[in-house]
Each structure stands twice: as structure tokens, then as C-alpha cells.
Amino acid sequence: MTRRTVSRLRSWLPSGRTLVIAAPFLFLLIFFMVPFAAVVKISFADPQMSIPPYTPIVELKDDSLRISATLAHYRTVLTDALYVDSYLYSLEVAALTTLICLLIGYPACYLIARSDPSRRNLLLMAVMLPFWTSYLIRVYAWIGLLKNQGLINKFLLWTHVTGEPIKLYHNNWGLLIGMVYNYLPYLMLPLYAHLVKMDLTLLEAARNLGARPWQAFFTITLPMSARAIVASSLLVFIPAVGEYVIPEILGGSNSLMIGRVMWDVFSVNNDWPSASAATCALVLLLLLPMALFQRVQRREMTSGL
Amino acid sequence: MTRTDKVLGNAFLGLVFLFLYVPTICVVVYSFNESPLGTVWSGFSLKWYAALTTDDELLSAAWASLKIALATAFASVFVGTWAGFVLARFRKFRGLTLFTAMINAPLVIPEVIQAISLLLLFVALQQAVGWPARGMFTIWIGHTMLCVSYVAITVQSRLSSMDESLHEVAQVLGATPLRVFFDITLPLISQALISGWLLSFTISLDDVLMTAFLSGPESTLLPIVVFSRVKLGLNPEINALGTLFIAAVTVGVVVNNHLMMKRQRRRDLEMAALRSTP
Amino acid sequence: MTFDAARPQKSPSADLQPDFVQIIDVTKKFGGATAVDHVSLSIRRKELFALLGSSGCGKSTLLRLMAGLEAPDSGRIVVDGQDITQLPPYQRPVNMMFQSYALFPHMTVEDNAAYGLRREGVGKAEIRERVAAALDLVQMARYARRKPHQLSGGQQQRVALARSLVKRPKLLLLDEPMSALDKKIRQQTQFELGNILYEVGVTCVLVTHDQEEAMTMADRLAVMNDGSILQIGTPGEVYESPTCRFAAEFIGSTNLFRGVLAADESRLFNCADLEVPLQVHNPMNARGRMEAQISLRPERITLSFEPAGQEFNWAVGKVDQYAYMGSYTLYYIRLASGRLMAVDMSRMAVRAMQRAPDYGDTVYLSWGSDTLVVLGS
């Protein structure tokens, strides 16, 4: 083939660059975007006893094209007490978890970041270690601690802090403890990564100009870590909303988080359209925090700090 | 920092670590407990470990989980590295925002959403093409999707902080872009790849939700078995299993850390030696 | 500061191929900004050519265009008769030494140097030979097994040089080679590097913002600003006879005067800052009376406590500032008009005076007419 034909053919084919970009792009499209599209589609269908257990939206029957979509599920999902209550409850739990994680995690990260470089690594490893061990087993471990006959109550009774065992298992307390326990490393690791990069000379300059340690903290350190705080909080908040395992193991029967509701609706009731509608509603609910997270991530990636 | 500040600080950190480690310690301690009641200590015993070895359900589930975890780790490193490379190298292309969103989103989206959506995809596919049936393959894809983002972001950040001129000089010296990737890029991000691999392995081994949704009738994985047993209450064999996990991970993390510190220390010594010579 | 050409002249055979490297009307734009604006250059074989300019002037872009790391919007680049404009960097007979040296951190010195040859498919035995010879040349043979992080900055530079030279490129590009080195060892390294390149006989293009570096190392240099080349010439030519204000000010320092030049026999130049007119030696292309700029280097001015006794080309003022630099002292003299003139007096010249001028002293400045350079504005 002549050179010209080859180069003309080449101009038809996608360039090497396009192929390189396209491969992971396609993978993500197929296994991320398309599934979402499927969810949206099914949320408009009706449940029925078939495989799959929902009506087709577009069908060709008796030579006529029928399109049947229903918004009934959205109405249920957005108004039914079961859903609404569990949304609100999930948001509540997630927010509380995030707050407590911040209150515990930020000072802890700060202290670790400011300690000797030799100790720092050890401490960081100590924070990361639980993160790597099975979270299922660690959550399970809390059962033994939280039960009425569990260690915590035993300790409280033994030290006479209380006269009766406090109910910590299968209720909101246990849930909250379990959530904070699980999500704390998720908050601490990115926060620590940011705090350790912070320029200490800025604090020195502040001290030089007359600021007391607490003032320096509130006027310089805290604002500068604002972006990291937001990012790590979102990294806890958003997944926490949809948490399933922890409420199931440690939570009470009345503390229904949305993850549990969706599981039940999906697998127990086999009501796929409702579950899909609930999924879409959840995504919409979390759209704002997710967009915020995206924005903060991008800023974090482009700026040095 | 004043002395009292230091003492308070250390006390606070101590409490935090106590909080983080008490459950793990309990698991380890009670795995050696004679009594099946997790809250009463009746003597030292290894019987729960022995029970593990005869527990066929657990063992076969563990084996299946291991296989999937390995497959997931390799797949997510492969796809994640590719995606991270694209993000780092190509600053502008059509669909960049979408691409970035698809990478970032799985990090934050509640797993239940991803699980449901993937399941619906597979069901629809099965309807249309007769494949795939829910089972090991679908679980593998699901787990990979969970982990790809972590690898991609780690690789991307490692690549962006790398000296661009390393790739350029390799090209000038005669290496085609593909060669540059294998000779230069890959070796230099190897640490990110290894940590990504380990992270993916861990996530896959431990995952409940995605596995539950995407499992077929025959495939039961370890987390599912553990989860169903745990829901019923305390189960002493689980303590033994947990302790084994914890031991393995601890050894791994400590060894890795130790190696990293040794390498770092060697580097620091060399740098210091250099500073004294012209 | 004086710049004496201490370089050995290149052998006459260098002139055999005056157009060894040709840059023909090359333009490169980034977004709205033009980095390289219709630049044309010819570089002789075995020549060490410097692109001199401040940051953002386009010199690094031009270098990258030659290396193939960027593609020009228009124009051609020809090396030894071969048009390489469309070739990717890995197919060009061009090598580049980066500012950061860019040594592969995961390879030994030996492997770094051998990398280019391995990509070429050269046989193992030959690679070993050539790498050993290259490392010998830069005196890094002892460190062959070391890794880059175990080397000092200067050593890394030498390895980077060996890596580029071992492939025997037709053209070697150097991007700010000295910028990462300590000031003290810079000059020594400049000589060493220059000698090695001369020995090897490779054609080089060097990019720098440091005029000393360019003056020391280059056979010829080009002053660049805003994407265009302002002047090309030998270091001596550009220093002594700058063709424009930028060139005059960028290389060395100078006193610039703006005024009106009479092209008649008087060859007088009147400037508002000066009480006494300047008389130029050669009015160049001045026609009638025209506005011009005149450059007068500080080191060509003589200071004295007595008037110089010449009709033109002198001034009087008070010592406003001075900086003692050891081998020379830089004086700033304030004239009656308020204008400051810089005068560079060597140590010997100062000692020849009755005493060293001090703050507030009235001194007389004088210079010859041949020291004045008329610039095209």
C-alpha cells in the first residue's frame, strides 16, 4: 500500500491517544453510568411476579408500541413515612457521626502531626492498622463490649459509676459508637495528610506578630485546614448515610437507616422499582454534598495546599 | 508546647487509641477463651481455632473469598492505573469532567447504591444476552468497581508529583511512549501500585453489601457467612478467625512500615554524606 | 565586569557547514500568547550556540521545539539536511540535557547512560564500551554502580551529559545546565563542560538566562525577547556593539542616553541629562538629525578628581553610592541634571588615584568616543 493510503487510513482510525483514554473511560461508563441508567429506568416500572420482577417500560405488543412509566414509586419514596423517616434518620446519624469524628479526629491528627518525626510514623501506623483489619470483625467485637453483660457495663458496675447496666446494644447508642469507630480512620487519614503538609513557618510568623497559641490556631491553622476538613467530613458523611452493616449489627430494630430499608425492599419484598426509586432519591439527596466534594477535591488537586 | 499541654495531649491520644484498639484486643483475648460466652473468661483454650479447621462452610467461603480478592486486586490495579495515568497525563480532553466524576464518585457514594445499580445492569444483561449469571464473575466486577477509584487517585497524585522531564528525556533518548510507560513510569509508581493492590485486596475480602447483592445461589463468600452468623449474636469461632486476620494484617503492616523506614533512613544517611562532599 | 573571550577558537573546519542546523520561520503559540514568533536561525556545525534571554522570552520553547517535545505551528527545523519538523522526539538525531538533569532514579549511573543506546538496539558489547568511554570522559567511571540520589548535583550533571553524548547526537540541547549548581562551582563547571563539548565536537544549543554563562561558553549567541531574536553574534560582538537597547541592557550593564544625534561632521549627540554633548566615533546610519540612544559601558569610564581636558565626552558629578566588590568598585555618580551614571573602576585604577572617591566627592568622568555605541531604538 502506498504511504498515502496508509496515512489516510490512519487518520480514520482513532489516534493512539484516543485509544488510551477510551479504554478506562469505556470501562467506567459500562460499569458505572450504564447501571445508573438502568436504575433510573426501572424506577419508572411496576413490580410484577416475573423475572426480572418489573414491567418493561417500552414494549412491542400486538403491533403497538406501549410505553408505560409510572411515577408512583417516586411518590411513595418521597412521601411514605417509612422512607422519609429513614432518610431523615440516616442524615441525622451521618451528621452526628461526622461531627463526633471531627471532634475526636482533628485534635488527634493535629497532635500526631506536631509530634516528633520519629514517633509520628509509629502513631500513624497505629491509626492505620485498624483500617486494614476486617471491619466486619471489629464491628462484631463491639457486641461483646456493648451488651448488658458486656465489658463496658461490667466496668461501669464494678466502678460503681452506675447501679444498673446501661443499654448500649441494639440501640442508637451502640449504632453511633459503631459508626464513629468505623469512620474515624477515614476522617483522620486525609486530614492528617493535609495537616502534616502545612507550613509551620506561618504559625511562627503569627507568634512573632504577637498571637497566642490558641489565637494562632483559630485564626490560621483552622481556616487553612478548612478545605481538608470539608473533604474528610464529606468522605465520612456521604457513605455513612447509606451504611448498612453497622446499623444491622449494632442498631436497634427501630433505628432504620436508609441502607437497611433499601436492602429489605429490594431483597425481601422483591420490589425492584421501589428500591430503584429510593436509590435515585438517595442520589439526588446526596448530589449537593457530592458536588461539594468534587469541587473541594479539584481545588485540592490544583493548588499546592 | 508547655508541659501540661504535652501531658494532656498524650492523654488524649492515649484515649483515642484505646477507643480504636479495645475491640480488637477483646477479639484476640476472647479467641483463647474456653467459654463460648464472650463475656466470661473461663480459661485458656485453643478449641475455637481447632473448630475453624473443621468448619467446612467457613473454609470454603474463605477460599472463594481469597480467589475473588486476588482477582479484584489485579483487576482494580490494572484499570485503576490506566485511569490514573489518563487523568495525570492528559490535561484536556472531551469528557474530562465526566471521567473525573466517574472516578471520584464511587469514593463517596454509599455502597448500597452501587450494589443495586450493578445488580440491575447484570440482570438486564442476562435478560438480553443470557449472560452473566450472578456469581463469581459479577462479584468480581462489583468489587473491582469499589476499588478502582482508590487506585486511580493514588496513581494520579503520584504521577502528577513526578518530574515530567523524566518522561521527556526518555523520549528524547529514543523510547516510544509505550516504552516510556513500562521503563520509567511503572517502576516509579510501583509503591502506589502495591499499596493500591493491598487496599483492593482488603476491601474485597471484607465486603458485605456488594457481595450480598451480586452473589448467585452457589457462591457464598466469607463476609456473608460471617455476617449471617454475627447477626445472630456472638460466635466464638469468629473471634478465632478475627484474630488470625488481625495477626496477618499486623505482621504485614509492621513489616512494610519497617522496610519503608529502613529505606528512608538509608536515603537520609546518603544525603547527609553527600552534603559534606562537593 | 569585563568579558574577555578566553575560549579557544573552533577549528576552521567548523565553517564547512554553516547551516548544519536550520530553524526556518518557526512559530509557536500557546493559547493566545505567542511564545516563538517567526524565528529563523542558522547554527554551524560543531558550534556552541547560546539562546540568551530572561524567563518567558521563548528560548526554552524554542529548545523544546528542536527536541520534538512541542510541535511548531508553522516553520521547519532542519538538522544536517534532514527535515525533522514532523518527527517525534524518539526519532530525532537530537539529544537534550534537562535543567533538573532528569536522571532515572531507579537506575544506576551505568544504566542511565546506557538507556539511549539500548533503545537504539545497539549490541551489548558495544554498549558497554561506549558507556565506559562516556563515563570516563566526564570522570564518573568510578560511580558507575551508584544511583542518582547518591550523587551530588555536579556529579548528576556529568552523568546527564554522558547519557546525552553517548548516543553521538548530531545536535545537543542544553536547558539551563548551570542553574541547579552552586554559584561557586558554576564557573569552573562552565569551563569543564565547554572543554568536553569542544573535545567531542558536537553541535550544541544552550539556553540560559545567565549572561555570564552565555558569554563564557558560547561561540555565538542570540539575544531573545518576547519570542523574537533581537541580535545574533559572538559574545564580543554583542557586548561591544549591541544593536538595540534590550541587548545592551541585558548583557552586562550600561549607561543609556537618549537624545538627538547630528549626522554631520560634528558627530555630536545632545542629551538632556548631560551638560556636555557626546561625540561619537562613527555615526553609523544616522541621517540628518535623528533621535537615537547611545550606550556607554561603565567600565569604559575613567574617574578623576581633575577635569579630563577634552572638549566632549566628559561629565562632572558627586559620588552618590558605591559598592566595593574586591577586584573592582562600582560607583554611581549623580550629575547636575539628577541623572545617575554607573562607573566600574578596577582596583588598580582606583589605587592610581590620590585616594578612593567617597560619598559626596566631586569627580570628573571621561571616556573615549570609540566607547560609545549608537543603538537602533
* Residue A67 Cα, gap to closest chain B Cα (Å): 18
Q: Is the ipTM of this complex over 0.85?
A: no
Quick one: average pLDDT of C333-355? 91
**Using an 8 Å Cβ cutoff, are B109 and A290 in contact?**
yes
- State the distance between the two ends of chain B, measured CA to CA, in whole angstroms: 39
**Using an 8 Å Cβ cutoff, are C308 and C272 in contact?**
no
Mean pLDDT of chain B: 85
C192 pLDDT more than 60: yes
Total Cβ atoms within 10 A of residue A71 = 11
* Residue B278 Cα, gap to closest chain A Cα (Å): 28
The closest CB to that of B174, out of C67, C69, C119, belongs to C119
User: Percent helix, strand and coil across chain B, each rounded to 5?
Assistant: 80, 0, 20
pLDDT recorded at residue B30: 83
Name the residue among C222, C205, C226 with its Cα closest to residue C37.
C226
CA atoms lying within 13 Å on the CB side of residue C250: 29
List chains adjacent to chain C, taking adjacency as at least 3 C-beta pairs closer than 8 Å: B
The closest CB to that of B102, out of A17, A32, A279, belongs to A32
Answer whether B254 touches A (CB < 8 Å). yes
Taking CB atoms and an 8 Å limit, are C106 and B171 in contact across chains? no
Summarised one tens digit per residue, pLDDT across range C56-115 is: 889 999 999 999 999 999 999 999 999 999 999 999 999 999 999 999 999 999 999 999
Cis check: omega of the bond before C307, within 30 degrees of 0: no
Taking CB atoms and an 8 Å limit, are B174 and C167 in contact across chains? yes
Confidence of residue B212 (pLDDT cuts 50, 70, 90): confident
Q: For residues A131 and B246, what is the distance between their CA atoms, to the nearest angstrom? A: 11
Q: For residues C45 and C13, what is the distance between their CA atoms, to the nearest angstrom? A: 9
The closest CB to that of B179, out of C68, C119, C151, belongs to C119
Confidence of residue B5 (pLDDT cuts 50, 70, 90): confident
Interface with chain B: mutation pick from A140, A153, A249, highest number of B CBs within 10 Å: A140
**Using an 8 Å Cβ cutoff, are C375 and C329 in contact?**
no
A8 pLDDT more than 70: no
Quick one: average pLDDT of C119-145? 92
- Distance from chain centroid for Cα C111: 33
Residue C298 burial by Cβ neighbours in a 10 Å radius (0-12, 13-18, 19+): buried
**Using an 8 Å Cβ cutoff, are C96 and B172 in contact?**
yes
Of residues C235 and A72, the one with the higher pLDDT is: C235
Across the A:B interface, residue pairs with CB atoms under 8 Å apart total 221
- Please count the residues of chain B: 278
| Angle, vertex CA C285, rays to CA C281 and CA C287, nearest 5 | 100
> Is A touching C (3+ C-beta pairs, cut-off 8 A)?
no
pLDDT recorded at residue A256: 86
CB < 8 Å to C96, chain B: 168-169, 172
A3 pLDDT more than 70: no
**Using an 8 Å Cβ cutoff, are C200 and C165 in contact?**
yes
* Residue B176 Cα, gap to closest chain A Cα (Å): 12
Quick one: average pLDDT of B65-79? 94
b/e per residue A83-96 (b: at least 16 CB within 10 A)? beebbebbbebbeb
pLDDT recorded at residue C62: 95
Interface with chain C: mutation pick from B91, B172, B263, highest number of C CBs within 10 Å: B172
pLDDT recorded at residue C297: 92
Query: What are the φ and ψ backbone dihedral angles of C302, each rounded to 5 degrees?
Result: -105, 135
Confidence of residue C7 (pLDDT cuts 50, 70, 90): very low
CA atoms lying within 13 Å on the CB side of residue C242: 26
Q: Has residue B255 been placed in a domain?
A: no
CB < 8 Å to B171, chain C: 68-69, 88-90
In chain A, domain spans:
80-270
**pTM across the whole model:** 0.81
Total Cβ atoms within 10 A of residue C377 = 10
Taking CB atoms and an 8 Å limit, are B267 and C149 in contact across chains? yes
CATH superfamily of A80-270: MetI-like (1.10.3720.10)
Taking CB atoms and an 8 Å limit, are A132 and B22 in contact across chains? no
Summarised one tens digit per residue, pLDDT across range B235-247 is: 788 888 888 888 8
The set of long-range contacts for A123-129, using a CB threshold of 8 Å and a minimum separation of 24, is: A123/B13, A124/A192, A125/B253, A125/B254, A125/B257, A126/B17, A126/B20, A127/A185, A127/A188, A127/A189, A127/A192, A127/B20, A128/A185, A128/A189, A128/B253, A129/B249, A129/B250, A129/B253
Q: For residues C127 and C115, what is the distance between their CA atoms, to the nearest angstrom? A: 9
C264: which 3 cell numbers? Answer: 554631520
- Please count the residues of chain A: 305
Summarised one tens digit per residue, pLDDT across range B103-130 is: 888 887 888 888 988 988 888 888 778 8
Answer whether B278 touches C (CB < 8 Å). yes
User: Which range (A258-272, B185-199, C335-349) has the least confidence?
Assistant: A258-272
CB < 8 Å to C205, chain B: none
Q: Has residue B138 been placed in a domain?
A: yes
Q: Has residue B266 been placed in a domain?
A: no
Question: Which residue of chain C has the CA closest to B166?
Answer: C102
Domain of B92, CATH number, reads 1.10.3720.10
Answer whether B41 touches A (CB < 8 Å). no
Place of cell 520509567: B184
pLDDT recorded at residue C288: 64
Taking CB atoms and an 8 Å limit, are B120 and A39 in contact across chains? yes
Q: What is the DSSP-derived secondary structure letter of residue C340?
A: E
Quick one: average pLDDT of B129-147? 88
Instruction: Tell me how far apart the 2 most distant CA atoms of chain C are, in Å.
Output: 75
C287: which 3 cell numbers? Answer: 541621517
Confidence of residue A11 (pLDDT cuts 50, 70, 90): low
Q: Has residue B160 been placed in a domain?
A: yes
Domain that holds residue B177: 55-239
Q: What's the structural domain count of chain B?
A: 1
Answer whether B206 touches A (CB < 8 Å). yes
**Using an 8 Å Cβ cutoff, are B84 and B154 in contact?**
yes
Q: Has residue B41 been placed in a domain?
A: no
Q: For residues B48 and B57, what is the distance between their CA atoms, to the nearest angstrom? A: 15
C2 pLDDT more than 50: no
Q: Has residue B165 been placed in a domain?
A: yes
Report the percent of chain C where pLDDT is more than 90: 60
**Using an 8 Å Cβ cutoff, are C302 and C366 in contact?**
yes
Q: Has residue B153 been placed in a domain?
A: yes
List chains adjacent to chain A, taking adjacency as at least 3 C-beta pairs closer than 8 Å: B
